[in-house]
């Protein structure tokens, strides 16, 4: 058989294959292959516009090398203005003198940088030694087992020139009613907080302080997220030194089941019940309340069989319910701040994307106007907007 005959036969064979594939594609999708190709060719990148979030001028953040402040600069770009002057950041609790020095050095760098750019840090002091990743036993901390290391950390920070005004707001032992931490029984929380705050106060008197608990309380070893109870937080805070805490924080997030499941929690009246935190604030003797919350675009991101998506419109609806709880608290005489947790954690064990855009490109995401409109709205309502992203 001549070569040209082979080529001709192969072309016929390939034509039949393409025709068959087209028939199957149209049967499975209901779309014609040529129409689909035309649609793909004609698709343009998403481009959105946003209004200003604030009447304040943007902070001068150009030149910063701090990853969080670089993120804040993108939020200001999306807002065409100032976005936030308070950003959440983290420190650990050291379990050795060497780790205390390491932790101090890292904290000093962050605090000094934030101060340079006039951003107030909301410092979450997790009961974890960041060098070893070992969790602090909250019962042993209450007995004073680690106080010496805490002294070493704070004294090192003071010797490097950190001032109380640069400290921002410090929040030790966050989410102590979640099953993350070691020996996080309710009776240890108040002694832990008292010891931490009094130790810090020796070096940085006048530093603003906070506690933050989750809206749903879990047994210390129960990791089933459907077993949380929205109940009073007084068993945790009773015994905290009167008027030693400036801010009462409540954490609560929406939730959706895996793909095909039922029973989502999308109303902040449930996951950020204002009566829980107002009772706590009254006990602590403070009128400052902050809500740690966020919305997500996808959950269970690492499992295609379970992944669940939330549209920008649904996120907007959730934010509306968050605003409603903040307004309820404001009408009761509290000064309220909302801290937006906005990091993309889809590739971590959390498998959740809390961000509103990707690749530092806010104008290529339909979720961006949802966030900027929310910031604008709460600014007009005199509710503070705080931020976590890194």
pLDDT, one tens digit per residue, over 151-197 is: 999 999 999 999 999 999 999 999 999 988 998 999 999 999 999 99
SS (H, E, C) the chain: CCHHHHHHHHHHHHHHHHHHHHHHHHHHHCCCHHHHHHHHHHCCCCCCCCCCCCCCCCCCCCCCCCHHHHHHHHHHHHHCCCCCCEEEEEECCCCCHHHHHHHHHHHHHHHHHHHHCCCEEEEEECCEECCCCEECEHHHHHCCCCHHHHHHHHHHHHHCCCCHHHHCEEEECCCCCCCCCECCCHHHHHHHHHHHHHHHHHHCCCCEEEEEEECCECCCCCCCCCCCECCCCHHHHCCCCCCCCCEEEEECCCECCCCCCCCCECCHHHHCCHHHHHHHHHHHCCCEEEEEECCCCEECCCCCCCCEECCHHHHHHHHHHHHHHHHHHHHCCCEEEEEEECCEECCCCCCEECCCCCCCCHHHCCCHHHHHHHHHHHHHCCCEEEEECC
Class of residue 345 by CB neighbours under 10 A (exposed 0-12, middle 13-18, buried 19+): middle
* pLDDT reported for residue 43: 57
- 186: phi then psi, degrees, rounded to nearest 5: -55, -35
Fold of 74-388: TIM Barrel (3.20.20)
Q: Which residues are paired to 338 by β-bridges?
A: 291, 385
Residues 6 or more apart from 215 whose CB is under 8 A from it? 230, 250, 251, 252, 271, 272, 273, 276, 277
Q: According to the model, what pLDDT value does residue 262 have? A: 85
Query: Which is nearest to 326 in space by CA: 249, 378, 388?
Result: 378
C-alpha span between 301 and 291 (Å, rounded): 25
What's the pLDDT score for residue 163? 97
Paired strand residues for 134: 129
Distance CA 375, CA 292 (A): 15
Low-confidence stretches of the chain (pLDDT < 70) are 1-43, 223-226
The C-alpha atoms of residue 323 and residue 375 are separated, in whole angstroms, by 10
Query: Any idea which residue has 């959105």 for tokens?
Result: 48
């Amino acid at each position: 058989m001549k070569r040209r005959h082979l080529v001709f036969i192969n072309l016929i064979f390939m034509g039949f294959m393409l025709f068959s594939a087209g028939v199957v594609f149209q049967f499975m999708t209901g779309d014609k292959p040529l129409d689909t190709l035309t649609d793909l060719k004609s698709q343009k990148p998403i481009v959105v516009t946003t209004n200003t979030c604030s009447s304040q001028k943007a902070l001068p953040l150009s030149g910063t090398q701090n990853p969080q402040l670089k993120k804040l600069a993108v939020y200001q770009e999306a807002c065409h203005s100032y976005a936030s002057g308070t950003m959440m950041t983290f420190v650990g609790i050291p379990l050795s003198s060497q780790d205390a020095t390491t932790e101090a050095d890292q904290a000093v760098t962050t605090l000094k940088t934030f101060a340079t750019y006039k951003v107030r840090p909301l410092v979450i002091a997790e009961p974890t030694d960041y060098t070893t990743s070992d969790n602090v036993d909250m019962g042993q901390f209450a007995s004073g087992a680690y106080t010496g290391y805490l002294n070493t950390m704070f004294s090192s920070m003071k010797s490097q020139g950190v001032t109380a005004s640069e400290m921002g707001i410090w929040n030790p032992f966050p989410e102590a009613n979640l099953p993350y931490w070691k020996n996080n029984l309710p009776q240890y929380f108040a002694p832990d907080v008292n010891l931490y705050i009094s130790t810090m106060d020796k070096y940085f008197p006048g530093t603003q302080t906070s506690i933050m608990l989750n809206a749903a309380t879990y047994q210390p070893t129960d990791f089933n997220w459907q077993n949380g109870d929205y109940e009073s937080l007084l068993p945790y805070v009773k015994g905290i030194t009167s008027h030693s805490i400036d801010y009462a924080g409540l954490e609560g997030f929406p939730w959706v089941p895996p793909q095909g499941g039922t029973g989502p929690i999308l109303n902040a009246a449930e996951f950020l019940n204002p009566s829980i935190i107002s009772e706590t604030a009254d006990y602590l003797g403070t009128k400052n309340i902050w809500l740690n919350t966020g919305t997500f675009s996808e959950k269970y991101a690492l499992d295609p069989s379970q992944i669940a998506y939330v549209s920008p419109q649904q996120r907007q609806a959730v934010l509306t319910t968050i605003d409603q709880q903040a307004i309820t608290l404001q009408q009761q005489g509290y000064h309220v701040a909302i801290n937006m947790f906005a990091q993309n954690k889809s590739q971590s064990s959390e498998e959740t994307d809390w961000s509103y855009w990707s690749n530092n490109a806010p104008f290529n995401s339909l979720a961006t106007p949802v966030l900027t409109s929310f910031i604008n709205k709460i600014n007009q309502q005199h509710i503070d907007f705080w931020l976590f992203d890194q």
